[in-house]
Structure 1
């Protein structure tokens, strides 16, 4: 009976520790510094471009021909 109580206590302690760590790491980081925005554009001078340059939205496709998912989505991205 004593061993069972010890095991239950340890399990509850581990669960409480895990929950506390989750709450601690999940909280938003409040800083007064603005977010850093990368200033290097994804579209380079040598990038193939379709459509007007002043479009309000830019879609950048990272395509790997050996990737099965990339090959499957390629026709849909081109259609967009």
Structure 2
């Protein structure tokens, strides 16, 4: 059995640090984001799921570079995503 300290340390490793940058603190516009990435996020949101733009595409936009792709993360399960995108 793990001690309380070990258990909390493992949980910290299992959950990545999330940083949400408020709109007023960056210059990223929807026009800078792939139309398809936006469609995915809108469809997930409309179905009641969270959807976040993450990864290198966000980094590139913050650095003023053109992203090569966009990553979206969600709280929907793979099965739920499949139903939304048959």
TM-score bucket of the superposed structures, by smaller chain? under 0.3
Higher strand share: 2
TM-score, scaled relative to structure 2 = 0.21
The structure with the larger Rg is 1
Highest RCO, 1 vs 2 (Cα 8 Å, sep ≥ 6): 2
